[in-house]
Structure 1
Amino acid sequence: MTRRLFEGKDHAAAYMQYRVAPQEMISIIMSYMEKRASKKFNLAVDVGCGSGQGTVLLAPHFTRVVGMDISAAQIEMAQTNSRPPNVSYRQCPAEELPFAPGEVDLLTAMTAAHWFDRPRFLLEADRVLRPGGCLALLNYTLDMELEYGDVSDALNDICKELYAALLPFRAPYLGLSSAKIYADMFNSCSYPDKEWNECLRVKRTLPVGAYVGMVETFSPYQVLKKKDPAEAERLSKDVITKLLSAMKVSSPDTEVTVVVKYFYWLACKP
């Protein structure tokens, strides 16, 4: 069954503010597609689009881009953000897409497919993709790393404490990493032309406060926040205090390099 998360307006706003836009992944996806067809692509559909950070990155490559999400709050947030004229959004479950058979050139889900009814979603993907169309599924691991001068190791020890504190609130079926879920989906895909990549390291320079803000958008933190708001707030403040102390700075606006580790798979429909 589909898991319904990320539905509150406050959470959607935080998602918009802190989540990383995966520009490097868009380049990889388009390179994969262009090797198989050099023509202009018509329709891209971004499923589980959230507030649209990844959706808008597809706009230069397609005549039309549609972001889909089951959450009304996420769609509302996406629509308030500036977007190219060829990008639109619709509230819709991933397993029931409003497109004709063979209409879609690219179907992607960026950090969302682990919440879907995966067998139904893969059947729906096969239905809407045209022959030669591509499916691209990607996610990243919780264990992001920080780089800052000669104290990176100390910062990452603090981060590991944060991740360990959140682990009991992680959805059990995800396991320690959702990579296995994506690998199982990859193995169940019958398309002969497909590629799996275990780790792409993407770096972003963010304020310390924004790094913690991004962690706060993750589902384990949201579960903790719902169960014990005071403890969630204490955990965030404690992590920021420890990070700033290790960096020997006082402002959470101090920038640090955040290393996000993506895994992904791409497949081309015969």
Structure 2
Amino acid sequence: MAVRLFEGKDHATAYLHYRVAPQELISTVMNFMEKKTPKPFNLALDVGCGSGQGTKLLAPYFTKVVGTDISPAQIEMAQVNNNPPNVSYRQSPAEELPFAAGEVDLLSAMTAAHWFDHQRFLKEADRVLKPGGCLALLSYSMDMELEYGDVSSILNDICKEFYAALLPFRDPYIGKSSAKIYLDMYNSCTYPDKEWNECLWIKKTVPLSHYIGMVETFSSYQKLKQEDPAEAERLSNHIRNKLMSAMHVSSPETEVTMFVHYFYWLACKP
């Protein structure tokens, strides 16, 4: 990996608890693949798998699914994550995958590829993919939205305040927009059969505390927490209390609808 983050045990535990991997996107990937790649689908490789939420969702479609991550703590979390019998995990950098040339039917990276050495990763993905195999790079932006009764617009102004406070702590490697990184990678991919989608909103009903917890897993929040733990805690509490006040509720376990803005690209190796 070009950048190593998310490696502490506490962060990996939070990642397991709060990060999401929607079935809707897995279905999109598989619909694309079923049009391009002859069955049976033997091996799926999920690179930068974190604690394995997305990796597990691939299990019904493949004989074998392997998740790889550079972080031992993330692999440890993934291995205790109630996995199907055909799912396993290995520690590995994204740019040096422990697979033979032409061995992989699907290579996915979910909310991870922006941290890789992009060109080395794409070259390595091309090496391990079999002809007719597919590449799927998925991620989402920080601008999540909340919906609750008739106060949704107020909640989203508060969410924007949260994001603005974290913006100075954003890692310079990913710049102002990780979507641009994915578009640049898409444009540099030489496969003629490829698709780019820059806007897919996925909604999920979660406790308000889950929304706060998810933002706290972001690298910008973790950097603030590392530099000033008291300020990070103050910011989370301030945003949580402000959201609860706007919702007129007393419990952070009150459920809200969270909308997450995904973008992705898919490609089939000739």
* TM-score, with length taken from structure 2: 0.99
- The alignment status of 1:2 with 2:24, answered yes or no, reads no
Q: CA deviation at 1:23?
A: 1.1
Deviations along 1:43-69, whole A, 9 cap, x unmatched?
000000000000000000000000000
Q: Which residue of 1 aligns with 2:22?
A: 22
1:173 alignment partner, SS class: coil
In structure 1, distance between residues paired with 2:247 and 2:78: 35
In structure 1, distance between residues paired with 2:263 and 2:139: 6
Q: Which residue of 2 aligns with 1:203?
A: 203
Q: CA deviation at 1:22?
A: 2.1
Q: Name the amino acid aligned to 1:40.
A: P
Q: Name the amino acid aligned to 2:213.
A: G
2:58 alignment partner, SS class: helix
Does structure 1 retain, via aligned residues, the 8 Å contact 2:141–2:262?
Answer: yes
In structure 2, distance between residues paired with 1:232 and 1:170: 14
- The alignment status of 1:91 with 2:91, answered yes or no, reads yes
Q: CA deviation at 1:38?
A: 4.8
Q: Which residue of 2 aligns with 1:77?
A: 77
1:250 alignment partner, SS class: coil
Does structure 1 retain, via aligned residues, the 8 Å contact 2:43–2:105?
Answer: yes
Q: Which residue of 1 aligns with 2:32?
A: 32
Q: CA deviation at 1:73?
A: 0.1
In structure 2, distance between residues paired with 1:2 and 1:22: 26
Q: Stretches of 4+ moved more than 2 A in 1?
A: none
In structure 1, distance between residues paired with 2:83 and 2:262: 25
Q: Which residue of 2 aligns with 1:261?
A: 261
Q: Which residue of 1 aligns with 2:126?
A: 126
Q: Which residue of 1 aligns with 2:249?
A: 249
Segments of 5+ residues of structure 2 without an aligned counterpart are none
Q: Name the amino acid aligned to 1:73.
A: A
Q: Which residue of 1 aligns with 2:60?
A: 60
Q: Name the amino acid aligned to 1:92.
A: S
Deviations along 1:215-252, whole A, 9 cap, x unmatched?
00000000000000000000000011000000000000
In structure 1, distance between residues paired with 2:41 and 2:262: 25
In structure 2, distance between residues paired with 1:60 and 1:261: 25
- The alignment status of 1:213 with 2:213, answered yes or no, reads yes
Counterparts of 1:96-175 in structure 2, within 5 Å, are 96-175=96-175
In structure 2, distance between residues paired with 1:42 and 1:259: 33
Q: CA deviation at 1:37?
A: 3.1
In structure 2, distance between residues paired with 1:249 and 1:93: 45
In structure 1, distance between residues paired with 2:23 and 2:15: 17
Q: Name the amino acid aligned to 1:142.
A: M
Q: Which residue of 2 aligns with 1:229?
A: 229
Q: Name the amino acid aligned to 1:27.
A: S
1:122 alignment partner, SS class: helix
Q: Name the amino acid aligned to 2:210.
A: A
Q: CA deviation at 1:172?
A: 1.8
What is the aligned-residue identity percentage? 76
In structure 2, distance between residues paired with 1:52 and 1:7: 14
1:50 alignment partner, SS class: coil
Q: CA deviation at 1:176?
A: 2.1
In structure 2, distance between residues paired with 1:147 and 1:243: 11
Q: CA deviation at 1:177?
A: 1.5
Q: Which residue of 1 aligns with 2:51?
A: 51
In structure 1, distance between residues paired with 2:36 and 2:108: 17
Q: Name the amino acid aligned to 1:179.
A: A
Deviations along 1:162-210, whole A, 9 cap, x unmatched?
0000000001232221000000000000000000001100001010111
